[in-house]
Structure 1
Amino acid sequence: MIKVPLTLNTSYIINQLPTPTAFIDTDYNIVHTSNKWKSIFSNNSENYKSKSLFKLFPHLSPKWKMVLENCFKGNAQPMGIHKTKNINEEELWFEWSNAPWYDSDENIVGAIIQLYDITDSINNEIELRKKDLQLQQQAEITKIGRWEYDLKDNKLTWCTTTKAIHEVPPHFKPNIENALFYYKEGHSRNAISMALFEAQDNGKAWSNLKLQIITANGNEKWVMASGKPVYNKGELVGLVGTFQDIHNQVEADIKSLDNEKLLRTLIDNLPVNVYIKDTESRKILVNKAECEFLGVDNPEDILGKSDFELYPKESAIKSREEDLRVMSTLKPVIGKETINIKLDGKETSFLSSKIPLLNNKGIAYGLVGISLDISKLKEKESELRNIINIASIQNKKLLNFAHIVSHNLRSHSANFSMLLNFLESEPDEEEKVRIIGMLSEASNNLLDTLDNLNDVISINTHTNIEKQKINLHDKVISVNQNLISYLFNNNATIKNNIPTNFNVKSVPSYLDNILTNFITNSVRYKDPNRKPIITLSAVKKNNYSILTIADNGLGIDLEKYGKKLFGMYKTFHEHKDAKGIGLYITKNQIDAMNGKVEVTSKVGEGTEFKIFFNDKD
């Protein structure tokens, strides 16, 4: 190895070199390095002298020995780029160069190696490659391609993804003319042509144009086109843009829209109210039936509103509590009978169901409500129940009537049979005459019984009776005139406190009988220690005209006789004229007119009857 002495001045100059520099001899040993080299590769205490370059940098390419050997021969060649680590273990990229090292006699004694830090450039290039790769991968995933148009060279460039969308081969070279040709004739081609014109003439960008193309293979595709002009020093130099395949998305949207229309058509034509509420119980979907129930034409008038805005507060509170219970417990309410009261006070009966809507975590984010209007069914049910009640009452009356007829006719028949036996066996003519008189009286009693039974049958079989508006005050006066002799003989007083303009709806003949029966009963059952006073008054209340007939007679023990009061042939006092048929017939007449009777009485003080005439029916 040849030792090449360095003077102090030479060594000082080498140390001050601005680039990392090393002098090696022909055995590749490092003879001297610049301070810049030392600061990168060694500590101050470390000495690189007499150490082989390839031992210090074991990853250097072996081919570089050949390059350095040529350099030793005076033929310097580029060494290339190498990655290494500095004293802080940081990776750095350097470009290595070499030049022959001459001594003072112009003999080559080694090589001068200089390094140029290109780490930033390499990192930038790596980063750029990564971004290009990511961009390419993103383009493949999102099917978003890029294109550029150089206005000066009239050159259009498509990326790989854009070519794939158009279904053209990789070597295809597009131009403005054939690029426009791919757009479907009509709206799509016109729209992109106008966008290009506006961009070049007015510098206007376009974005998210949803258009259709016809690919090279003849397939129709939906694409999203965007673009903008590019300027250099205020001069238009080209256009750039993106090109996205959205065919599957559009097809899915169209299918979803069709399904939505189908679902909307279905729920709008269901004969039930359907709605969806969010967690705040605000309606976010309603069908036509729900709109009609709430009296609106446009669903927008309901959407976003809670029950507190659509129903009275009390009803809204109950509904909200039920909503929260369904969403918290996740237990649906099925077929619950409820009454909805609208703000105008109208009541509607519903069979309601509420079903929680669950997300993928099993948490309720709202509920579906379904309500079936059963108001008419309830009315029919009520009518049917009334019919059943009436039928039941009629059956009881019929059974009771059959027992009465059987009992009474049997009694009369037995009486006739006994008297006839007496008549046949009686030898005394005077006694025969007396028996014949008894038979005549029994016959009259039978006729009275038959007449009474006929009256009862007539009342219960005439269902289509016609009621009229009758002045009750005047009718009481008329009945009193008919009873004037009877009232005078019993020293009875009638107090007519009924307003002069008071009208009731009644069958005229029934009203005559009702007034006559109650007035004569009051006189018949008078207290022997005082003059009979019968007071009549009337009021209107709850669709009824209520006639009150109060007397000061004997009174009735209602605890003992209350349930039998209106029974046939039921009497409650030892009175020779009592037959027990008047109240029975009167009660049947009142029932036939959809009215009712109430009675209060105290023994020894008197009785008060309230007759309710139905003003509605």
Structure 2
Amino acid sequence: MSNKLKLYLNAAKSAKIGIWELNLKKGSLYWDAVTRCILEVPEDFMPVQGSSIRFYTEGENRNRIKFLLDQAINEGIPFNDKFQITTDNNTIKYVECICQVAFKKGKPRRLLGTFQDITNEQNLINEMQLSVEKFSSIFSSANDAIFIFDISNGHIAECNPRTSELTGYTSNELVGLHNSELFPATYRDEIKNLLKQNTEKDNYLVSESYIQTKNGNIIPVEVASGKRFKVKDNTFLVCFFRDISERKRVETNMNKLSLAVSETTDTIIIADPNGKTAWANKAYLELTGFSLNEIIGYRPGHFSKGPETDKHTNAIMREAIRDKKSIKITILNYKKNKEKYWFDLNITPVFDKQNELINYIGVGRDVTAQKEKELELNKLLEVTNHQNNKLFNFAHIISHNIRSHTSNLAMVLEVMKDTDDVEEKLSYIDLFKEATEKLSETIEYLNEIITIQKSTNIEKTKIRLKDEIEKTKNTLSLIIKENQITISDNIPNDLTLFVVPAYLESILLNLFTNAIRYKCPKKETKLEISYEVNEQHTIINFKDNGLGIDLEKNGHKIFGMYKTFHGNHDARGIGLFITKNQIEAMKGKIEVESKVGIGSTFKIYLNEK
């Protein structure tokens, strides 16, 4: 082997280029070490003519190498081509095979060639080809209009089909057109600066501008400039144009709506699907005293509830929100400074086209003035009804009791007038006296009740209940001893009440004497006095084990005037009526629990404010 040939072979080996030779006369095939390495066959592998064909991927690659080898052997035509092969280890590779033909006496005698692994290069080419195909697909089908500008002259070098839809120009008309022709005159400098900034600094910039179409229409667009790139010595810039006409229209409408919502006197609050505040208008913030930052992320009711907020109304509102239903309520809320206000609120859920909940919108109005008038009117109606009931009782007294007494007096006088017997006339004096006494008694009761009901500005005094109970027991000590009544209490010495002393004295006397008057003769009489305190009242309980009252039959008239239930000869039916009036005059109330044969418990609720 000559030195020149050795040098060539060593160079080929260094470049990882395989050498092969096919001797057509002898039918022998030679592969060097690089060729064996590419095909991943053992070092001692001995190739024979035709053994290389199996390495070429079955199909187009194998058919093509057979055809080219056949041409080289029979017609002496050389070739240079690229193929996909599968090595002895089942590795897929790409190779470049070059074949030269050596002739003798005009006939092909040897095929000499090189064999080079180009897998990495081919994979890169494949990837580039795929990228080109992807870019071409994206470029053609993109929703945005894409322009490629030649920076050297500002002309459009390429554009996608969407540009024609946006501008009204055909692709042929756009290519070669200067970019300034796309914009109204007032916006050309703005776009020129945008392109200049991107070209000089290679920035990704987004801005809004306007396109002027072929027929002169002005369309708002969003312009996004991409990266610049070079092809040979020319620099190009990719720009994306998006029609934002609809967005601008929506923004305009939203701005108008936002202005209306912000300036309306009605309060508006928007909550997310979880019911948490996302936004509120100025009217809501001014009404409640909160800032937007203080309420965002919280449920609107988190800050507005207070001790007098109606729990039932609140529960109804929560249930409607949970069920994604509209609701209209009026509820007592609290401001940031704890001031109360009445709130008329409409809550409406908002859904998207897929019927998914987007948010809740609450539109409300401060109706404190109207509600206070309504409550005042209701209170007035309640007072009026109460007064009407009282007038009915007075009418009953006047029409029945006083008329009865005056009728009795008239009858006695008539009888006395009709007789001339002095002794007989004198005998009617006692009847006349009795009738006048009963009339006087009725008038006294009437005066006492009128006094109580007229006392709208009665003065209350702080007294110790324990002392008043002891005074009443001392006053009635003889009666208590005579009737063998046991009276016990758990009233602490320091329990004080804010009451009208004269009224409390009368109430205690009435309840003590009732327990005595209606005792059960078959058992030892007991009266137990206890107390309890809630948020609004101090409650005094008077529990006896007397005759009891059938509340199902007589409960509706137990506190009526002249109502008696046991036929006692000394019962006048006025004590509980007066007691009820005295307690109500002090803004309290009285209730009774009773069972026949078991006893009664009178519960006195005293409002000490």
- TM-score, normalised to structure 2, is 0.57
Question: Structure 2: how far apart are the matches of 1:317 and 1:448?
Answer: 55
Partner of 1:500: 493
Matches within 5 A, 1:45-444: 145-150=147-152, 155-157=153-155, 184=186, 189=189, 192-193=192-193, 196=196, 199-200=199-200, 204-210=202-208, 224=223, 226=225, 237=233, 239-241=235-237, 249=244, 252-268=246-262, 269=264, 271-275=266-270, 277=272, 297-298=291-292, 302=296, 333=326, 335=328, 352-355=346-349, 357-359=351-353, 363-364=355-356, 366=358, 368-370=360-362, 372=364, 385=378, 387-444=380-437
* Alpha-carbon spacing, 1:191–1:504, altered in 2? closer, same or farther (3 Å): farther
Moved more, 416-425 or 534-543: 534-543
Find 2:534's aligned residue among 520, 529, 541.
541
User: Cα deviations across residues 193-214 of structure 1 (Å, max 9, x unaligned)?
Assistant: 48637745xx634543445799
Deviation at 1:414, TM superposition (A): 0.8
Which residue number corresponds to residue 454 of structure 1? 447
SS in structure 1 at match of 2:532: strand
Query: Structure 2 regions of 5+ residues with no counterpart?
Result: 1-66, 68-131, 306-311
Give 3-state SS (helix, strand or coil) of 1:567's partner. Answer: coil
1:585 Cα deviation after fit: 0.9
Gaps of 5+ in 1: 1-38, 40-127, 327-331
Amino acid at match of 2:150: E
2:237 maps to amino acid: G
Equivalent residue for 2:468, pick from 475, 478, 483: 475
Answer yes or no: is the 8 Å Cα contact 2:548–2:596 preserved in 1. Answer: yes
Corresponding letter in the other structure for 2:244: Q
Give 1:350 deviation, angstroms.
Answer: 6.7
Distance 1:316 1:585 in 2: 40
Provide Cα deviations, 1:306-350, integer angstroms capped at 9, x if missing partner.
9999999x9999989866865xxxxx6454789999xx9x99987
Q: Could you say which structure has the larger radius of gyration?
A: 1
User: 1: distance between equivalents of 2:389 and 2:356?
Assistant: 56
Per-residue deviation, 1:538 = 1.9
Whether the 8 Å CA contact 2:472–2:508 is kept in 1: the answer is yes
Q: 3-state SS of the aligned residue for 2:488?
A: strand
Per the alignment, do residues 325 and 429 of structure 1 end up closer, same or farther by CA in structure 2, a change over 3 Å counting? closer
Q: Is the 8 A contact 1:340 1:348 kept in 2?
A: yes
Q: Is residue 341–residue 366 contact of structure 2 (8 Å, CA) maintained in 1?
A: no
Q: Per-residue deviation at 1:586? A: 0.9
SS, match of residue 499 in structure 1: coil
> Alignment partner of 1:610: what SS?
strand
Give me the CA root mean square deviation.
Answer: 5.7
What number of residue pairs does the alignment pair up?
A: 459
Task: Choose which of 511, 529, 535 in structure 2 pairs with 1:518.
Answer: 511
Distance verdict in 2 for CA 1:230–1:526, change over 3 Å: closer
Q: Confirm or deny: 8 A CA contact 2:167 2:211 kept in the other structure.
A: no
Per-residue deviation, 1:409: 1.3
Q: Secondary structure at the match of 1:611?
A: strand
Change (3 A) 1:525 1:316: closer
Structure 1 residues 230 and 529: CA distance shift in structure 2, 3 A: closer
Contact 2:588 2:605 in 1 (8 A): yes
Query: Secondary structure at 1:458's aligned position in 2?
Result: helix
545 and 175 in structure 1: CA distance in 2 versus 1, 3 angstrom threshold:
closer
| 8 Å Cα contact 2:280/2:292 also seen in 1 | no
**Structure 1 residue 472, shift from structure 2 partner:** 1.3
Asked whether the 8 Å contact 2:275–2:360 carries over to 1, the reply is: no
Residue deviations 1:103-124 (CA, integer Å, cap 9, x gap): xxxxxxxxxxxxxxxxxxxxxx
Q: Provide, for residues 386-409 of structure 1, a one-character-per-residue CA deviation record: whole Å limited to 9, x for no partner.
A: 554443343233223212221011
1:421 Cα offset (Å): 1.4
Q: Distance in 2 between matches of 1:554 and 1:315?
A: 44
Name 2:3's counterpart in structure 1.
none
Give the C-alpha shift of residue 500 in structure 1.
1.0
In structure 2, do the counterparts of structure 1 residues 183 and 230 end up closer, same or farther at CA, with 3 Å as the change threshold? farther
Distance 1:368 1:543, change over 3 A: closer
Three-state SS of the structure 2 residue aligned to 1:416 is helix
Task: Please state how far the C-alpha of 1:145 moved relative to its aligned partner.
Answer: 4.8
Instruction: Find the partner of 2:582 among 589, 595, 598.
Output: 589
Q: Report the alpha carbon displacement of residue 569 of structure 1 after superposing the two structures with TM.
A: 1.7
Q: Which amino acid aligns with 1:400?
A: N
CA distance in 1, matches of 2:226, 2:547: 109
Question: Does 1:608 find its partner at 2:581?
Answer: no
**2:465 and 2:495 in contact (8 A); partners too:** yes
Q: Secondary structure at the match of 1:519?
A: helix
Q: CA deviation at 1:449?
A: 0.8
- Residues 349 and 357 in structure 2, CA contact (< 8 A), matched pair in contact too: no
Q: Conserved in 2, the CA contact under 8 Å of 1:307 and 1:320?
A: no
Q: State the alpha-carbon separation in 1 of the partners of residues 212 and 284 from structure 2.
A: 46
SS at match of 2:244: helix
d(CA) in 1 for partners of 2:254, 2:465: 67
How far off its partner does 1:476 sit? 1.7
Deviation, 1:175, is 9.4
Distance 1:267 1:475 in 2: 64
Q: C-alpha distance in 1, partners of 2:447/2:314?
A: 58
Measure the CA separation in 1 of the matches of 2:474 and 2:202: 107
- Offset of residue 565 of structure 1: 2.6
CA pair 338-485 structure 1, distance change in 2 beyond 3 A = closer
8 Å Cα contact 1:184-1:214 kept in structure 2: no
Kept in 2: contact 1:352–1:371 (CA 8 A): yes
Alpha-carbon distance between aligned partners in 2 of 1:296 and 1:487, rounded to the nearest angstrom: 64
